[in-house]
Amino acid sequence: MIFRQLFSSLREPEFWAYSSWLDIVTKYRRSRLGLLWLLIPPIIYIFGVGYYFAKLQGVSPLGFIPHMGVGYLLFRFLMTTIMESASILPGNASFILDGHVRLTDFVMRVLAKGLFYLIVSLPILVVVLVLAPQLEPLGLLTMVPAMILLVTNALWMGIIVSLLGARFPDINELMSSLFIFGFILTPILWTAAAAPVGTAHGMFMRANPFFHMIEIVRAPLLGEPIEPFTYAFMAVLTVAGWALTAFVYKRYARFVPLWV
Amino acid sequence: MSNMTASLTANHVSLKLPAFVQRERAVGNWWTMLARAAFEPPRREFRTILDDIHFSARAGDRIGIVGRNGAGKSTLLRILAGAYQPTSGWIDLLGSRQALLNISLGFNGEATLKENIYLRGTAMGIRASDLYELVEPVLEFAELREKANDRLKTLSAGQRMRLGFAIATAVQHDIKVMDEWIGAGDASFIQKAKERMSNRVDGAKVVILASHNFQLMKDVCSKGILLERGRILHMGEIHDTLKEYEGVLRHAESTAP
């Protein structure tokens, strides 16, 4: 059921594509800088915070900023997609109650918005990567399948969270605490080498799906060592995640109109 | 517009919903009352909202649903619209269906009228190629052409209703399910809306409309269903149903304290 609905969402993208585009353009329409606002926060984070933390840890900013920049952009994508999913179904209650019950459309709306933000910040990423001394050109190739894997996983997480958010209004608050913790637990401002296997904090880091989702894209790109465990984790996460989503969606999607 | 015949049938539809209620207790003082409201979890009870609703609408039927507040009209419409799934029983549907339950909701306030027409159009499943042809007739009917590029936020409640009605009725469907859409329009628009409804009867083969407006019901509907506490109390010609409904209202008035 979930896959059937998902495919028809992809075949008829008009509603979610147009509504996420409207969300973006209307947000910045009345501001003087307009869509430039899409670029300003990532520039500040990546170059400002990146430089500051590189100095703080006594490492070269040119090496650290790419690590932090890629990590930050991917984490932001995951965070906005999953967090906004928590409130997307109640937010679209009027459509749902009029009988628009293909719920995947609404999650696609959130995902499309997150992807758009990610794509807009690609120029910054290019600058950062060109400056990076440790760039592995081969990593650019593995980045494509790795990104598809990351987005696929973000999608099922969004679907699960959207259902939870429709049923339990407190999910929103849980999500924001979870992501603050998740940001600290993910090697964005620090590197995975600081949490080796066998330590307590290393175990914490490896139990964190965001670590693996980001690492599988970033590590080959920046020539950082990637553990075989990450590949295994991602395979299990993808399969088990979608199986869980299929089950939960089939069982609970019909109750969503009652909850919102 | 399809030439296939349309029909909508509810087969012994019942709906039970959980309701969350706070315990009722004698309140000692202000402090305990406030504390209880904050810390006492609500109790879950199942309530029967609709009970064995069974009827059939064939092509050409325009059914008016009447009943007092809380009788289950809106819930029934949401089941007929395909949003709620019945706890037992099922809906048989032949033809394309469009619900107009919340015609002034689901807009993006910061976007222009034109953009909102596209938005609602896509939500109704209209493909991109047909969207452009939708804009002019909708603006024309809603009498909002000169505001096409204004932000939707700047519209009054009545104008918003007009726009919503114009969008929702711009495309012809076999089955229309509608709730109290006539709330905020001015007299001349209501007249226009009624005309559109009546003119489109040939196109929309089945119309289900819930309203408290007797005149509208008489003008638009041919049959009527009277709901009371989630059950069908009467079903028949619209004039008979309205008479029954008047009886229910009089009875409620006479028993009220």
pLDDT digits (tens, 9 = 90+) for B101-127: 877 777 888 899 999 999 988 888 888
A170, pLDDT greater than 80: yes
What pLDDT is attached to residue B157?
A: 82
Please give, rounded to a whole number of angstroms, the shortest distance from the CA of B85 to a CA of chain A.
7
Of A30, A94, A254, the CB nearest to B106: A94
B29, pLDDT greater than 80: no
B185, pLDDT greater than 70: no
Across the interface, do A96 and B83 touch by the CB < 8 Å criterion? yes
A146, pLDDT greater than 60: yes
For chain A, how are helix, strand and coil distributed in percent, rounded to 5? 80, 0, 20
A107, pLDDT greater than 60: yes
B25, pLDDT greater than 70: no
What pLDDT is attached to residue A67?
A: 93
On whether any CB of chain B is under 8 Å from the CB of A101, the answer is: yes
Burial of A191 (0-12, 13-18, 19+ CB in 10 A): middle
Interface test with B, best of A20, A29, A97, A101 (most B CBs within 10 A): A97
What percent of chain A clears pLDDT 90, i.e. is strictly above it? 58
Question: pLDDT per residue over B191-222, tens digit each?
Answer: 888 777 776 655 667 889 888 888 888 888 88
List the domains of chain B with CATH numbers.
1-18+49-96+173-257 (3.40.50.300), 99-172 (1.10.8)
Closest CA in chain B for residue A102: B83
Interface test with B, best of A8, A12, A28, A98 (most B CBs within 10 A): A98
Q: A88 contacts in B (CB within 8 Å)? A: none
Mean pLDDT (chain B, rounded)? 84
Cβ pairs A/B, distance under 8 A = 67
Q: How confident is the model at residue B1 (pLDDT cuts 50, 70, 90)?
A: very low
Closest CA in chain A for residue B110: A26
Mean of the pLDDT values across residues B222-238?
92
Which of the two residues, A160 and B120, has the higher pLDDT score? A160
Q: B122 contacts in A (CB within 8 Å)? A: 14-15, 18-19
* Other Cβ atoms within 10 Å of A90 Cβ, number: 16
Lowest-confidence region among A38-52, B70-84, B176-190: B176-190
What pLDDT is attached to residue B202?
A: 56
Closest CA in chain B for residue A30: B110
User: Across A208-222, B40-54, B124-138, which has the greatest mean pLDDT?
Assistant: A208-222
Q: A253 contacts in B (CB within 8 Å)? A: none
User: Across B125-134, B135-144, B156-165, which has the greatest mean pLDDT?
Assistant: B135-144
What pLDDT is attached to residue A68?
A: 93
Across the interface, do B127 and A14 touch by the CB < 8 Å criterion? yes
Beta strand B175-179 with B206-210 is: parallel
Mean of the pLDDT values across residues A161-168?
93
B128, pLDDT greater than 50: yes
How far apart CA B2 and CA B15 sit, in angstroms, is 32
* Other Cβ atoms within 10 Å of A140 Cβ, number: 12
DSSP A48: I
Of B85, B108, B125, the CB nearest to A254: B85
Q: B85 contacts in A (CB within 8 Å)? A: 254, 257
On whether any CB of chain B is under 8 Å from the CB of A251, the answer is: no
Distances (CA, A) of A165 to A92, A152, A156, A244, A260: 12, 20, 14, 17, 9
What pLDDT is attached to residue B2?
A: 43
Question: pLDDT per residue over B45-103, tens digit each?
Answer: 888 889 999 999 988 888 999 998 888 888 999 999 888 999 999 999 888 888 878 77
Which ranges constitute the DSSP H helices of B143-230? 157-170, 187-199, 214-220
Lowest-confidence region among A55-64, A136-145, B140-149, B184-193: B184-193
A128, pLDDT greater than 80: yes
On whether any CB of chain B is under 8 Å from the CB of A19, the answer is: yes
Which of the two residues, B160 and B201, has the higher pLDDT score? B160
What percent of chain B clears pLDDT 90, i.e. is strictly above it? 25
Interface test with A, best of B74, B96, B122 (most A CBs within 10 A): B122
For chain B, how are helix, strand and coil distributed in percent, rounded to 5? 40, 30, 30
Give Cα A236 to chain centroid, integer Å. Answer: 18
Degrees, nearest 5: CA angle B40-B44-B46? 160
B28, pLDDT greater than 80: no
Of A29, A95, A97, the CB nearest to B123: A95
Q: How confident is the model at residue B257 (pLDDT cuts 50, 70, 90)?
A: low
Mean of the pLDDT values across residues A90-98?
88
Distances (CA, A) of A6 to A3, A102, A106, A155, B154: 5, 8, 11, 10, 36
On whether any CB of chain B is under 8 Å from the CB of A95, the answer is: yes
Across the interface, do A12 and B127 touch by the CB < 8 Å criterion? yes
Mean of the pLDDT values across residues A27-44?
84
